[in-house]
Each structure stands twice: as structure tokens, then as C-alpha cells.
């Protein structure tokens, strides 16, 4: 898997995690994760237009994520694509990662009941 595909997969999983956090009423976690990735679509478009390097975006996202306390989320997400013996990403199956796997601390919260979520 190339870095472009890896970035798209990370964006996909981040959106799932944001949705799950919002469903659970964990607005802070949803905000923090969305803050980490909100520039990613425009960065991907810029690299595509300018024939740039997707690796730079990946490295920047990973560095910012580590600084913001997303080390476990990033490592967990990358663990589904990067073999422990290799540094080259590998192809995942669509169901390899679900939100129910080990959640980073910032995403853990009590699940809200349906009545608690009603407005």
C-alpha cells in the first residue's frame, strides 16, 4: 500500500472514530481527532495537483499526532497496515479494524443510552 492510500485509510478510520465518540457523547474526543485530521483532504488535493510527496503529509500527520497525545491511536491505526517486521504498509481487508478494538484513553467513555442522546 502506498502513502496516498494509507492516508485515505487513516482518514476513513478517523471519521469512524469521530462518529463513535460523538455517539457516545464524548465531544472532546471527537473534537481532538477532527482537529488532528481536518486539513488532510486539502493536503491530499494539493499533493495530487502539484505531483508532491504523500510521505511528507504522512510524516507531518504522525508528528502532529504524537505531539497532541494521539500516539496510541496512530500506532493502533497503523498496526493494521504496517507489518511489525517491515516498514512497508500492507493491504488490509475492509473489516480488519473496527472501533471496538482497543480504544485510546481519550476515546473511552460511558456509552449514552438512546434517551440520553435525544434532544
Contact present, 78 and 87 (Cβ < 8 Å)? no
Report pLDDT digits (tens) over 14-51.
999 999 999 999 999 999 999 999 999 999 999 999 98
Please tell me the predicted confidence (pLDDT) of residue 40: 95
- pLDDT band of residue 85 (cuts 50, 70, 90) is very low
Residue ranges covered by each domain of the chain? 3-117
Task: Give the cell for residue 83.
Answer: 507489518
Which of 6 and 105 is assigned the larger pLDDT? 6
Which of 11 and 118 is assigned the larger pLDDT? 11
- pLDDT band of residue 96 (cuts 50, 70, 90) is very low
Amino acid at each position: 500500500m502506498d502513502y496516498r492510500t494509507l492516508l485515505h485509510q487513516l482518514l476513513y478510520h478517523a471519521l469512524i472514530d469521530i462518529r463513535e465518540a460523538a455517539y457516545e457523547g464524548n465531544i472532546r474526543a471527537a473534537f481532538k481527532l477532527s482537529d488532528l485530521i481536518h486539513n488532510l483532504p486539502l493536503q491530499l488535493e494539493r499533493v495530487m495537483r502539484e505531483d508532491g510527496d504523500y510521505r511528507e503529509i504522512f510524516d507531518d500527520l504522525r508528528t502532529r499526532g504524537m505531539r497532541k497525545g494521539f500516539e496510541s491511536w496512530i500506532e493502533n491505526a497503523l498496526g493494521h497496515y504496517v507489518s511489525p517486521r517491515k516498514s512497508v504498509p500492507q493491504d488490509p481487508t475492509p473489516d480488519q479494524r473496527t472501533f471496538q478494538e482497543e480504544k485510546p484513553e481519550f476515546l473511552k467513555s460511558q456509552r449514552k443510552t438512546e434517551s440520553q442522546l435525544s434532544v
